[in-house]
Amino acid sequence: MIEARSINKSFENKDVLKNINIIFERGKINQIIGQSGSGKTVLIKCLVGLFEVTSGDVIYDNRNFTRMSMKERKLLRQEIGMVFQGGALFDSMTVMDNVMFPLRMFSKGTKKEMQERADFCLDRVGLNDAGNLLPDEISGGMQKRVSIARAIALNPKYLFCDEPNSGLDPKTGVKIDDLIEEITLEFGITTVVNTHDMNSVIQHGDNINFIFEGTLEWQGNKKDFLDSGNERLNNFIYSTELLKRVKP
């Protein structure tokens, strides 16, 4: 479980996050949704420590990440996997080397064990034949899957996904979402997904957190998402012509 307690974040006197309180539960897909510029990426970066919070605390299973020393943070980060919006694969390394990278850096296993783990992770995302290819030789969807394989290589307790299906066609986007859900349930991971893909929210949103202009505007799940009665949320959901047409 990850807890965001009264998080505030400002950039040069501009308040980007205002008093955010969220609990991200274990074994569930916890989503952060909102318009571009609403502060969702800043929130996810505050949660993983890429941005320092202006005030407030981030608690990982009763461990206060915000007040940890750099050494303690480094240790905790080995329990975190992250899937970046663009994949963030190391372009000078092959797909296999990308997945092996965290294992080589932190795993105490033998070479054979590491190789087996990397094979398992690639197999898990359906890319066991792509190990020798370079990131620029595979499609965007495959890059995302490699990124997921790399993120789960060290058996993380916490998985963060920043817009995992952005830039992908709907079918591939669904595949990625399904994969993240399967992995979350299979390994009991606390997964935090930053998205503005409505299909993903309706399909997988166990714990949905709607951010509007830096504040937590609404919390709920996929069951009560479409009839929340929240005007701002409804404006966000039904902003596309397609959804306006199917609006109940």
Partner 1 sequence: MNFFVSFGSYLLLLKSTLGKPPSGKYFRRQLVDELSLIGLNSLGIVLIISVFMGAVLVIQAGYNLQNPLIPRFTIGNGVRESLILEFSPTIVSLILAGKIGSSISSQIGSMRVTEQIDALDIMGINSASFIIFPKIVAALFSFPFLITISMVTGMLGGYSAAVIWDIVSATDFILGLHLYFYPFEIIYALIKTIIFAFLIVTISAYHGYYVKGGALAVGKSSTKAVVYSSIAILTANVLITKLILI
Provide, rounded to whole angstroms, the least separation between the CB of residue 225 and partner 1. Answer: 29
Q: How far apart, in whole angstroms, are the C-alpha atoms of residue 244 and residue 248?
A: 9
Strands (E), 25-95: 29-33, 55-60, 63-64, 80-83
Q: How far is CA 224 from the centre of its chain?
A: 22
| H helix runs in the chain, sequence order | 40-48, 70-77, 95-106, 111-124, 140-152, 170-187, 198-204, 231-237, 241-246
> Which of 5, 18, 26, 77 is close enough to bind partner 1 by CB under 8 A?
77
Does 243 bind partner 1 (CB under 8 A)? Our answer is: no
219 binds partner 1 (CB under 8 A): no
Nearest distance from C-beta of residue 64 to partner 1, angstroms: 17
**Residue closer to partner 1 (CB basis): 67 or 74:** 74
Buried b (16+ CB within 10 A) or exposed e, 49-62: bebebeebebbbee
Residue 156 or 173: the one with the smaller Cβ distance to partner 1 is: 156
- The answer to whether 2 and 59 have CB atoms below 8 angstroms apart is yes
How far apart are CB 21 and partner 1 at their closest, in Å? Answer: 24
Write each residue from 88 to 127 as x if it is in contact with partner 1 (CB under 8 A), else as -, in one continuous string. xxxx---------xx-xxx---------------------
66 binds partner 1 (CB under 8 A): no
Q: Which of residues 160-199 bind partner 1 (CB under 8 A)?
A: 160
Q: Which residues bind partner 1 (CB under 8 A)?
A: 48-50, 73-78, 80, 82, 84-86, 88-91, 101-102, 104-106, 160
